[in-house]
Amino acid sequence: MTQMQAAPTTKLNDCPGLREYVTLGRSGLRVSPLCLGAMTFGQEWGIGEDEATSVKVIDRYLELGGNFIDTANGYNKGHSEAILGSHLSGVPSKRDRVVIATKWMSNLYRNDPNGGGGHRKAITESVEQSLRRLKTDYIDLLWMHFWDKWTPIEETMRTLDDLVRAGKVRYLGFSDTPAWVCAQAQMIAQFRAWSPLIALQIEYSLVERTVEADLIAMAQSLGMGVTPWSPLKGGILTGKYTRSSAPAGARYKADSKHLNERTFRIVDELKNIAAGHKTQQGQATVAQVALAWVRQRAGVASTIIGARNTGQLEANLASLEVTLNAREMASLDETSEPALPFPHGFLSFVKDAIQNGASVNGLASNVWPNSPADDDERW
């Protein structure tokens, strides 16, 4: 989910970029390049808005051409799904044009060990409850919200395939799950002719790039379109925090640890780049440039944005008018370069030993000094 700084006062007249639909992963499902996150629909968690405000956000998103809305069974204790269901079910044509994505996994029943998880009982009952709250006969995209290490992945995938075959779910995806588990699940589905995963939902931003080590590469290889969440890192990449501001102002305590010099260098570069871009609403913002960077990353299909009102929504959507050039992308890449886990650093180090001076797929290399200089030196 995305937190925006104060919304511009200029109303967004049109948003043609929102209607530049993309296919999600290795599927024919068409979705908007920006997905509307529904975690702020409802006030039960203390961070959202009431039903009337949420409905205005939904309608404005649809009016401007958006068609992809993401929620979860646990968001605001189920109220997020209920708000969507109450509003969209009233006009069947409106529900039919929207790609509704929801998640199962959260346990809404205290002390019930089977209330959540990746097993058949939890999945089946959660989906039935989501269908009732959403007031619909089918879920367009069902996500596994996070990994349940206690359930065999074969059981999870077989249950999901049964739901697709029953017509209650159309497409499947995983969220917040290790790459090796996603790969295992995808290969099992492929070998057994079960419904495949078409999408991967993960945290991804200029601050959080460690997913580039394995998750994004895995998704690209195995046909999963990436849908990043928290592309502004809980508001940190809006520019609202400075080196002199108190970390206690962070929306989530977990985000305060990212208010460091690396992050402020990223924000400084975002400000420099924003000065060279404009949108319908005027000067591009730090947040809009940060969203543009995520949108232009390899493997990304649709980025999840959040909005507590229509002004914040329109400010987010205006980021579609910002297209970064190669120099700007490279500058942000360099400023935010992450430290990746082993063996990624080592593999970069041995590039010269593999290519030995040759350029492969545009990647140049140096001559490996430990290689034979000519045929006479080769054993």
Could you list the active site residues? 75
CB-CB neighbours of 260 under 10 Å? 12
CA-wise closest residue to 324 among 266, 263, 277, 271: 277
Tokens 């024919």 sit on residue: 28
Tokens 């065999």 sit on residue: 152
- Taking CA atoms, 193 is separated from 32, 163, 167, 189, in Å, by 28, 14, 17, 6
Under DSSP, is residue 85 helix (H, G, I), strand (E, B) or coil? Answer: helix
Structure-block tokens of residue 84: 């969507």
The separation between CA 181 and the C-alpha centre of its own chain, rounded to angstroms, equals 18
Cα–Cα distance, 283 to 75 (Å, whole number):
34
CA-wise closest residue to 303 among 105, 54, 64, 24: 24
The greatest distance separating any two alpha carbons of the chain, rounded to the nearest whole angstrom, comes to 81
What one-letter code names the amino acid at 305? I
What one-letter code names the amino acid at 310? T
Residues in a beta bridge with 34: 303
DSSP letters spanning 265-302: HHHHHHHHHHTT-EETTEEPPHHHHHHHHHHTSTTB--
Q: What is the dihedral of CA 306, 256, 247, 53, to 10 degrees?
A: 20
